[in-house]
A and B are shown apart, each in its own frame.
Chain A
Amino acid sequence: MSLMTLRDLTVLRGECPVVDHVSLNVEQGECIGLIGPNGAGKTTLLRAALGLLPASGDSTLAALPAPKRARTAAWMPQAREIAWPVTVERLIALGRIPHLPRGARLRPQDRAATDAAITRMGLESYRSRIATHLSGGEQGRVLIARALAQETPLLIADEPIAGLDPAHQIATMQVFEDLAHEGCSVIVSLHDLGLAARHCTRLLMMERGRLVADGPPSEVLTPENVDRVFGISAFYETTAQGPVFQPMAVTR
C-alpha cells in the first residue's frame, strides 16, 4: 500500500525552484534516507510533502484533511522546539493529540502508546524530568519519541540524529529500521552517509532541488553521484559486518 506519492512537487522561492519537480512513491515497510548537501532542498521537500508549505504539483499527504493527515504521518521538524518546561512524559503524550476525541483526556490506549514510545527510545529514566532542562541530544530523543507516540504509518523526521552521541545515533537508526520491519515507513533526512548506507533500505539523493537518485544505497551512493553531488570521494564496501561507507577526501 502506498503511504505517500509525490508528483512533480515544486516549491518556488521567488522565481527560483527550491524543490524542482520531485516525484516519488513511498510504500509500506521502507526506511528511507534523504541525503544531499546543505541547501539541496531536503527540508523544503519534506515540509511541502506534508502540506506545510504552498507547493505546486501533487502530494497525496498534503491533499488529506489536517486531522486525517495527522493520523497518517508524524513530523519531527529540525528545530528542536520545546516552549515550556513540561515533563518528558507529558511532552511525548502530545503526540496523541490527533487521536484524542474532542475535549477528551488521555485514554488508556494513549498512555500505552506514550509508554511504548518512551521504552523504544530508552527514556524510562527521563519520564518525569523537565524536558527543557535536558541536553540538546536528549531533547532530540524525546522529540523522536513524541513523533513515535503519534503511531502513524509514516514517520517523517528532519535530521533527527544530528547532535546525538554515536550510541544514540545508531540506536535511533535501529529504531527506524525496526519500524520499517513492522510495516511502517520512515523518511529521515541525514548527513551521516555511513549510517544512511547501513540502516536505510532506500536513499533519496537531492541536488539543487532536484531528486537526482532514488534507490537502494548501493545504487545511489556510487562514486560518480557522491563526487558530483557532495564533492567528495568515499570508501564504500560491503563487509562481513554490513555495508561501510566512509567519506575520504574533498574532490573540489
Chain B
Amino acid sequence: MSNFFQLLINEQIKLYIRKSTWIMYILIAVLVLGLAFLSDYTVEQAAKYQDDNWQETLEQENADLQQQMEEDDMMQGFNNTQIEKNNFYLENDVQPRSYDAWQFVMGNEFLLSLVSLFTIIVAAGIIANEFKWGTIKLLLIRPITRTKILAAKYVSVLLFALFTLLFVLIFSWLSGALFFGVNGMDPYIVLNESDGFAHVSIIGEIIEGYGLQLVTLVMMATFAFMISAIFRQSSLAIGVAIFLMLSGNAIVSFFSEYSWAKYILFANTNMNQYINGSPMFEGMSLGFSLTVLAVYYVVFLSLAWLFFTKRDVAGH
C-alpha cells in the first residue's frame, strides 16, 4: 500500500504544480469575493430587524406588502410567501438573523457546479495528458501494475474535488466572516421547507445542499475519467462530460415519454426529489436511484479499467 501513497503524491504534485490548476482556484476566490461585494442588499435587508423593535418592523412590512398586493396582482405570489415567512418569525418569536458568514456559505452552494466543472477538466486530463506529453511510456514501465496507477489517478481526481470543495467552503466562510461577521457557531435560520416554514440549522443545510450536488460531481467526473481512459484525449472527455452535465435534465424530459427514462443517469442524480417527496417518474425510490447510480458508476470504472490496463500503448 505504501507505493500507492507514493503514486498519490506523484499525481498530486503533477496536478498542483501546474498553473492551470492555480487559475481554477484563483477564479473561485475572485468569484467568492465578488459575490461578497454584491451581497450589500441582502445585508441591508437583514439589518433592519436587528433592533429591539423587530416585531413592529415585520408587522409594518406585512402591512406594506398587503397594500402592494391590492394595487398590483402580479406581486401576489412573492408577497404571500414573504408574509407567511414574516408571520412564522412573529408566531414563533424568532428574531430574523443578521446576514453572516454562515448564510453566505449557504448561498454559495451553486459554486459547486464550478467545482464539478473543474473536477471534470482534471479528470479528463489526468490520463489523456500523460499520452499527450508522451510520459505515459515512462510511467507504465515501472514495477507497478496498471490497475494501481489507474486507481491512484482516480483517487487523485476525487482528492482534487474534495480539496476544491473545502476551498469553496472555507474561503467563502472566511470572506463572509470578513465582510459580514460571524453570528454564533451553530446558527439557525427560517427556511421554506417542503412542509412549510421551519427553523433549521444552517450547518445542516450546508451539508445537505453541498452534499447532494456531490452525487452529480462524482458521477460526471467518473464519466470524464472513463472517456479520458478510452479515447486518451482530454478535449473530447471535457466536451462530452460538460455537455451531458448541462443538458442532463433536458435529456431526461426529452425521453420522459418512454418507460425506460427512469434509468437515465440524470433522472437519478438529483436526490432532492426524495427529500421533497416528488420523484421524477413513477416507481422511483431512493433505493432505486442508488442502485441505478451504482450500476453506472461500476460500468464507468470498469470500462476505464479495461481500456487502460488491456490496451497497447502504441506510437502516436
Binding partners A and B: no
